[in-house]
């Protein structure tokens, strides 16, 4: 119970220090917020890009071309396999005669095609898959290529591979930016706590002389840094939310032209909790390094 009261007192002391210098606290919170808003905003942008890409009408598809000698019965067998397959969302059967009629109409070579003795086109299926990942597309391609009377399987997955690669690079860049900014924020907290310690140097030294432990001295500063980081994380969330709201107002007409969702999504609840926790941790880490360094210097003397 004494341990709990000690932490409550330290938390109150840290909060009082924040309120005692509101202007300096506001500046530090703004610095935290802007720095955390950069990677958070990029993360939200990548998340929306990935979500919108799944809404495009040109979903990944497989085109199954049967052999020229495949009969309608063979096509029915393929149809039954596709109906039972868990990875298939929907499919469309294209009869070879319908394909020839469409080719004549689209190519403008109806006279040339009319001279052919037989229809050279095979039956075909256009399959839309449930999963848009390149791995799922490739697995389904290999499976369907081995089915009886299937001559060739063409996968419309180039765009998926390119998008997946671009998103991976984007996430890597966001991770690198996050690490660099995290180091900078820890340094900001380090210097802020250092100034707090310098103003209370005599008090800390007297506390050490009368038997105060390092944990007792360190605890209020740790709560101060954590609260400052937590407020900075909340400021970052507000900045990102405001930016998303403004973009929604500007992009609604443009996005509607592509038939996508008319609104950009904000940070999810797990992402928001992670942001606040990381911000508080960075504040705690900077405070711990600063206080520990000062206590180490006192012990040397």
Lowest average pLDDT, out of 101-105, 147-151, 235-239, 248-252, goes to 101-105
CA 239 from centre of chain:
17
Q: Where are the alpha helices (DSSP H) in 85-157?
A: 96-107, 110-114, 134-145
- The larger pLDDT score, comparing residue 162 to residue 22, is at 22
Whether 214 has a pLDDT exceeding 80, the answer reads: no
Q: Tens digits of per-residue pLDDT, 174-212?
A: 888 888 888 888 887 787 777 777 766 666 666 667 766
**Residue 2: per-residue pLDDT:** 67
- The larger pLDDT score, comparing residue 238 to residue 141, is at 238
**Residue 135: per-residue pLDDT:** 75
**Residue 38: per-residue pLDDT:** 85
Q: What percent of the chain has pLDDT over 90?
A: 4
For range 219-240, the mean pLDDT: 88
The domain ranges of the chain are 2-55+164-300, 61-155
**Residue 239: per-residue pLDDT:** 92
Task: Kindly provide the b/e burial profile for residues 137-159, where b requires at least 16 CB atoms within 10 angstroms of the residue's own CB.
Answer: beebbeebeeeebbeebebbbee
Which is it for strands 61-66 and 88-94: parallel, antiparallel or unpaired? unpaired
The CB-side HSE value for 266 (13 A sphere, CA atoms) comes to: 15
**Residue 57: per-residue pLDDT:** 46
Phi, psi dihedrals of residue 209, rounded to the nearest 5°:
-65, -35
CATH code at 61-155: 3.30.70.3040
Are 122 and 89 in contact, with CB atoms under 8 Å apart? no
Whether 297 has a pLDDT exceeding 50, the answer reads: yes
Tell me which residue of 216, 221, 215 sits closest to 191, measured CA to CA: 221
> What pTM did the predictor assign?
0.62
Size (the chain), residues: 301
Lowest average pLDDT, out of 67-71, 157-161, 261-265, goes to 157-161
Q: Tens digits of per-residue pLDDT, 7-49?
A: 677 678 777 877 787 887 888 888 888 888 888 888 888 887 7
- The larger pLDDT score, comparing residue 281 to residue 111, is at 281
**Residue 50: per-residue pLDDT:** 73
Residue 221 binned pLDDT confidence (cut-offs 50, 70, 90): confident
**Residue 238: per-residue pLDDT:** 93
Whether 131 has a pLDDT exceeding 60, the answer reads: yes
**Residue 129: per-residue pLDDT:** 82
Token look-up 């990944």 returns: 60
């Amino acid at each position: 119970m004494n341990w709990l009261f000690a932490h409550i007192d330290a938390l109150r002391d840290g909060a009082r220090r924040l309120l005692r210098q509101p202007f300096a606290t506001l500046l530090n919170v703004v610095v935290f917020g802007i720095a955390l808003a950069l990677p958070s905003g990029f993360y939200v942008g990548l998340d929306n890009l990935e979500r919108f890409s799944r809404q495009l009408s040109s979903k990944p598809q497989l085109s199954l071309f049967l052999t020229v000698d495949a009969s309608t019965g063979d096509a029915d067998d393929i149809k039954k396999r596709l109906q039972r397959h868990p990875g298939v969302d929907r499919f469309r059967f294209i009869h070879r005669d319908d394909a020839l009629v469409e080719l004549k109409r689209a190519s403008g070579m109806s006279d040339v095609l009319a001279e052919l003795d037989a229809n050279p086109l095979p039956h075909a299926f256009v399959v839309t898959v449930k999963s848009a990942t390149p791995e799922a597309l490739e697995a389904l391609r290999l499976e369907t290529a081995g089915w009886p009377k299937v001559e060739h399987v063409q996968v419309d997955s180039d765009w998926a591979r390119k998008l997946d690669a671009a998103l991976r690079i984007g996430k890597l860049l966001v991770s690198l930016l996050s690490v660099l900014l995290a180091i900078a924020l820890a340094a900001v907290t380090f210097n802020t706590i250092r100034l707090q310690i310098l103003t209370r140097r005599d008090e800390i030294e007297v506390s050490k002389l009368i038997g105060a432990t390092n944990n007792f001295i360190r605890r209020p500063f740790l709560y101060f840094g954590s609260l400052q980081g937590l407020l900075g994380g909340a400021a970052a969330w507000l900045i990102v939310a405001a930016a998303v709201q403004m973009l929604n107002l500007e992009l609604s007409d443009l996005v509607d032209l592509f038939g996508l969702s008319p609104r950009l999504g904000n940070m999810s609840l797990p992402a928001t909790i992670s942001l606040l926790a990381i911000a508080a941790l960075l504040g705690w880490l900077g405070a711990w390094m600063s206080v520990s360094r000062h206590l180490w210097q006192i012990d040397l003397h």
